[in-house]
Amino acid sequence: MNFSDILTMRHELMLTLLALVVLIIDLNLHNRDKHYIIPITLSLFFIHTVVGFLPAEKSVLFGGMYQTKPLLVMMKNILNVGVLIILLQSVTWLKKEENREKISEYFILLFSTLIGMYFMISSGDFLMFYLGLELATIPIAALAAYTHHNTKSAEAGIKLLLTSALSSGILLFGISLIYGSTGSIYFDTVTNLYQNSPMQVLAFIFFFSGMAFKLSLVPFHLWTADVYEGAPINVTSYLSVISKGAAAFILIIVMFTVFNKIAPIYNHILYLIAVLTMTIGNLFALRQKNMKRFLAFSSIAQAGFILLGILGGNVLGMTSVIYFVLVYIFSNLGAFGVVSAISTVTGKESMDDYDGLYATNPKLSLLMMLALFSLAGIPPVAGFFGKFFLFASAASAGYYWLVFIAVLNATISLYYYLLVVKAMFINKNETPLAYFKSDLATRTGLVLAGLGIFILGFWSQIYEVINNLSFGLIH
Amino acid sequence: MSILNLFIIVPLLTVGGILLTKDLRQSRLVSAVGMGFQMILSFVLVYLYLHERAAGNTATMLFTYDALWFPTLNIHYALGVDGISVAMIALTGIVVFAGIFASWKMTYLPREFFISLIILASGVFGFFISVDLFTMFLFYELAVIPMYLLIGIWGSGPKEYSAMKLTLMLMAGSAMLMVGILGIYFFSSPDHSHLTFNLMEISKIKIPIEMQRFLFPFTFIGFGILGALFPFHTWSPDGHASAPTAVSMLHAGVLMKLGGYGAFRVAIFLMPEAAHEQAWIFLILTSISVVYGAFSAVVQNDLKYINAYSSVSHCGLVLFAVLMMNQTAMNGAIVQMISHGLMTALFFALIGMIYGRTHTRIIQEMGGLMKVIPFLGVVYVIAGLASLGLPGFSGFVAEMIIFVGAFQHVDVFHRVITILAASSIVITAVYILRVVGLLLMGPIKNDHFLHLDDAKWYERISTVTLVLAITAIGVAPFWLTNMINYSLAPIVEKLSAIQITSLF
């Protein structure tokens, strides 16, 4: 291993450097100048995102603990773009008086979790995987409690911390069983040694349960709504979009490589959990009045759809999951962006407050509608394509009834997404939220999300690129 | 570059044009110009089509255009038309054009209204010109979703309820359709090597019969929900009653035809064996639609509900004829689609115009309108007579062909069910004449009605266009039936090549 090999970890290295730079700048700034951190960090992160798109090569570091290949780099880039949009959307909120002293904390904690996700995605063995996972989770708990003077936020932090600890424990137990039965923690070795002995199936179940907590699959979803509601809105969108996206990425990699041999067994589990997650997530979402809780439950249901791609068990499934996550990031950030913009300016988060929004804020309403249509899977926006390909991959494995249940669930989800559309466009309101103009950063964030929602579907090259990269991964 | 691309591009340009406008005057002008152009374009397409056929072009699909979209899944943006789709496109062009003029006074959020309306129209046009199941499905959903906003924002009565019911039921239909389409796709190649969404290619192979048995109900009911198949028709009366005039016109006139068209173009054409096996179930359901819809129309007092139930009955007849699966009946089905599309659009336009004057849709509250608004009254009678199948109008041609075709089946089941369905003609006469009598004849019940204005110029454009089309088909049906027959031939050939193992 020489110096140039280290450079293949450029995502991790650059982001670590970025976090340190933010820290040092923060130390040298006077309290009243703290807000300068925001533009500096944003531009640095923008450069980081752009550099991430430079062509990458396959390489293995640290004796197999760390691996990288174009597909993994692609996943990291997808996350980067999402984070960039979130950062843009959080600028107004960070500039508020009460947050002035802890601007840099927000960035540093956020970047730490992102570094954790990078390592998790690039891990070549369970140790690195676990380290990455923890690094990706614990700082989020601090972020969720960011407005700690607010009881709900503090509660969210503690809840997230406790559930993460529990799920990590379960996950670690699964890993220990894997190590016990195969004598190795390296993905490659484990893949070859994995059989369907009862202990290894048990190991898988523990491992999967741990991951299910992170992805908030039913019945491991109970923490989601409270945490999403309590955490500051931008942290919520980070949790539901980036955190979940990264977990989906690593889950599908591990399922398709390490546990590939027990696919006939885990497919039953996945089938059941997929049905439960979609249905229960949807049914709870029907009754929510708070927009954050509403999006929380809708994102639980969306996670259920991701399992359909894993059930597909082929290149089509892999590609569809990655593509779906990409589309999901943009659609959800569109929705969260609007909620965040409104919540930051007016402090209103209830669905009733959105009554008659179109009359006063037509652009925000239109973006919200497009984002919700995309989440529901309505053409011509990107969500339609994402869902169609996921369903296609499940159908390719013969799960027609599951596809039917999933599409029916998409119809149920359409009902509650339409409730928001109805509030904005149809409901009459004597005193709708007053017109306001968001600042440049928020608008850029919203426009980026909107562009993604529109373009990603029609632009089939993106799907093809993901497909080509996925091809080598599965046999 | 095929002419068919214009059917997508023109609506898009029109939408772009409306975005630039400021008020009602400008946006309705842009819409009228755009959709007027689109209507002329569809007539040009009919002409070009006939011209090609006269020149001896025997390809099934003409003016094809094919662009690879998602290479991995072999999804194409593939266009092409045969006689049937050309006829449907002409119908859509006329109804959309008439619909724009019927909404000439749309004062509340006019830009948004016309944009949604034209997006809906472009979904319908896209559906009829697609030969790739994926794009077809995409356009199908694109046509359904603007309905929610159109009914929810500009509707009347319990509009939120109706809009939600309609959207959810149609989306549940598209859920079934999704399963059907994916199933067809994964069995579109005998050795699973060249999967395709292309209709014409799939029609060349035989999908395994077990899969057909599973997929046919999904596909047929999926389309059937949009075609108001009993017992999935309940969205239709509520939806039509709450929708604004132009939307009712478009929805009953064109959108419901997507169901009938899809049912034979996708479900029956691609899975003929299962269609033969299961036709009896759906024949029973559709004849219930036909008779039950007609009876329901008799007892309604709201003009829109009457017409909505009459649409259930007539659209049921389309599916009924399609399921008879012989050349004559299927020909009748397509003529019926076009005839009903024009008729019902005319009806809804008239109802909207009458409601705009009298501010009521309850027939008992009106009366003697013929004396004050003779133009609208006469056109209403024409629409009514066409609807009950008077010779000389399109309705007669369609129903005649359908029942002749249906009676060609010699077995008892088909005969009985045909006679049952044919009884709807009498019931139709009952509710049409009842409405005409109560609404137009008799004394004027309200003094306020004495000062009503007759149709304005834009309303005349809307109605006369439709009346002309109805009469044209009624007097000279042959050019239409010839065009359809030519394109039906390969479909019927495929259907009749099957060993019939039906229950009856």
pLDDT tens, position by position, A400-409: 899 999 999 9
Closest to B339 measured CA to CA, from B481, B212, B160, B244: B481
Chain B residues whose CB is inside 8 A of the A395 CB are 179, 182-183, 185-186
Among B residues 366-425, those touching chain A with beta carbons less than 8 Å apart? none
DSSP state of B268: I
Determine which of A407, A408, A462, A470 to mutate to test the interface with B (most B C-beta atoms within 10 Å): A407
Specify the pLDDT at position A475. Answer: 43
B362: three-class secondary structure by DSSP: strand
Question: What tokens were used for B248?
Answer: 């009712």
Q: Please count the CA atoms within 13 angstroms of the CA of A203 that sit on its side-chain side.
A: 22
- What's the gap in Å between the CA of A73 and the closest CA on chain B? 22
Q: Which long-range contacts (CB under 8 A, 24 or more apart) does B406-410 make?
A: B406/B320, B406/B321, B406/B324, B406/B329, B408/B324, B408/B326, B408/B328, B408/B329, B409/B324, B409/B326
CB-based contact, B108 to chain A, within 8 Å: no
Chain A residues whose CB is inside 8 A of the B142 CB are 379-380
Residue B420 domain-assigned (yes or no): yes
Strand partners of residue B62: B81
Instruction: State the Cα angle at A350 between A347 and A353, rounded to 5°.
Output: 80
Chain A residues whose CB is inside 8 A of the B168 CB are 411, 414-415
pLDDT digits (tens, 9 = 90+) for A54-65: 888 888 888 888
Chain A residues whose CB is inside 8 A of the B153 CB are 425-426
Closest to A413 measured CA to CA, from A297, A309, A261: A297
DSSP state of A34: G
Distance in angstroms (rounded) separating the CA atoms of residues A4 and A270: 41
Distance in angstroms (rounded) separating the CA atoms of residues A321 and A467: 11
Closest to A223 measured CA to CA, from A138, A172, A166, A287: A166
Facing B183 at nearest CB: one of A319, A395, A467: A395
Confidence bin at A112 (pLDDT 50/70/90): very high
Residue appearing with tokens 């009919």: B46
Give the number of other CB atoms < 10 A from CB of residue B402: 27
Strand partners of residue B402: none
DSSP state of B365: G
What is the rounded end-to-end Cα distance, in angstroms, of chain A?
28
CB-based contact, A455 to chain B, within 8 Å: no
Q: Which residues contact B262 (CB under 8 A, 6 or more apart)?
A: B127, B136, B140, B177, B222, B223, B226
DSSP state of A288: -
Question: What tokens were used for B243?
Answer: 């929708």
DSSP of B24-77, one letter per residue? HHHHHHHHHHHHHHHHHHHHHHHHHHHHHHHTT---SSEEEEEEEEEGGGTEEE
Facing B168 at nearest CB: one of A316, A400, A415: A415
Determine which of B12, B19, B72 to mutate to test the interface with A (most A C-beta atoms within 10 Å): B72
Distance in angstroms (rounded) separating the CA atoms of residues B165 and B500: 39
Determine which of A414, A419, A421 to mutate to test the interface with B (most B C-beta atoms within 10 Å): A414
Q: Would you tell me the crossing angle of helices B327-358 and B374-387 to the nearest 10 degrees? A: 160
Mean pLDDT in residue range A408-430: 87
Residue appearing with tokens 């406008």: B21
Residue appearing with tokens 């804020």: A361
Confidence bin at A1 (pLDDT 50/70/90): low
Facing A467 at nearest CB: one of B72, B139, B176: B72
Instruction: State the Cα angle at A439 between A434 and A443, rounded to 5°.
Output: 95
Whether A78 contacts A386, CB under 8 Å: no
| Phi/psi at A194 (5° precision) | -75, 125
Facing B138 at nearest CB: one of A379, A414, A421: A379
Instruction: State the Cα angle at B474 between B469 and B477, rounded to 5°.
Output: 95
| Phi/psi at B198 (5° precision) | -75, 120
When divided into structural domains, chain B yields a total of 1
Distance in angstroms (rounded) separating the CA atoms of residues B491 and B330: 10
Q: Would you tell me the crossing angle of helices A291-312 and A244-257 to the nearest 10 degrees? A: 20
Q: Which residues contact B231 (CB under 8 A, 6 or more apart)?
A: B285
Among B residues 452-471, those touching chain A with beta carbons less than 8 Å apart? none
Whether residue A378 and residue B176 make contact (CB cut-off 8 A), yes or no, is no
Quote the pTM value.
0.91
- Give the chain A residue nearest B72 (alpha carbons): A464
| Phi/psi at B66 (5° precision) | -140, 120
Determine which of B73, B119, B225 to mutate to test the interface with A (most A C-beta atoms within 10 Å): B73
Specify the pLDDT at position B213. Answer: 87
When divided into structural domains, chain A yields a total of 1
Whether residue B172 and residue A411 make contact (CB cut-off 8 A), yes or no, is yes
Distance in angstroms (rounded) separating the CA atoms of residues A396 and A314: 9
* Percentage with pLDDT > 90 across chain B: 1
Specify the pLDDT at position A172. Answer: 92
Among A residues 352-381, those touching chain B with beta carbons less than 8 Å apart? 373, 378-380
Whether residue A415 and residue B164 make contact (CB cut-off 8 A), yes or no, is yes
Q: Which domain holds residue B146?
A: 3-496
Pairing relationship of beta strands A59-61 and B62-70 according to DSSP bridges: unpaired
Distance in angstroms (rounded) separating the CA atoms of residues B434 and B423: 17
Task: Write out residues in chain B with pLDDT < 70, as ranges.
Answer: 1, 499-504
Distance in angstroms (rounded) separating the CA atoms of residues A55 and B302: 67
Instruction: Identify residue A268 by its one-letter amino acid code.
Output: H
Facing A378 at nearest CB: one of B70, B145, B153: B145
Distance in angstroms (rounded) separating the CA atoms of residues B203 and B271: 8
Mean pLDDT in residue range A318-332: 91
Specify the pLDDT at position A331. Answer: 92
Instruction: Identify residue B154 by its one-letter amino acid code.
Output: W
Specify the pLDDT at position B501. Answer: 53
Whether residue B174 and residue A407 make contact (CB cut-off 8 A), yes or no, is yes
Distance in angstroms (rounded) separating the CA atoms of residues A125 and A257: 12
Whether B80 contacts B4, CB under 8 Å: yes
Instruction: Identify residue B388 by its one-letter amino acid code.
Output: L
Q: Which residues contact B385 (CB under 8 A, 6 or more apart)?
A: B393, B432
DSSP state of A387: H
Confidence bin at A26 (pLDDT 50/70/90): confident
C-alpha B111 chain-centroid distance: 25
Distance in angstroms (rounded) separating the CA atoms of residues B252 and B305: 12
Question: What tokens were used for A335?
Answer: 């929705």
Whether A139 contacts A112, CB under 8 Å: yes
Specify the pLDDT at position B500. Answer: 58
- Give the chain B residue nearest A467 (alpha carbons): B72
Chain A residues whose CB is inside 8 A of the B178 CB are 388, 391, 403, 407
- The interface predicted TM-score of the complex, written ipTM, equals 0.89
Q: Which domain holds residue A246?
A: 3-471
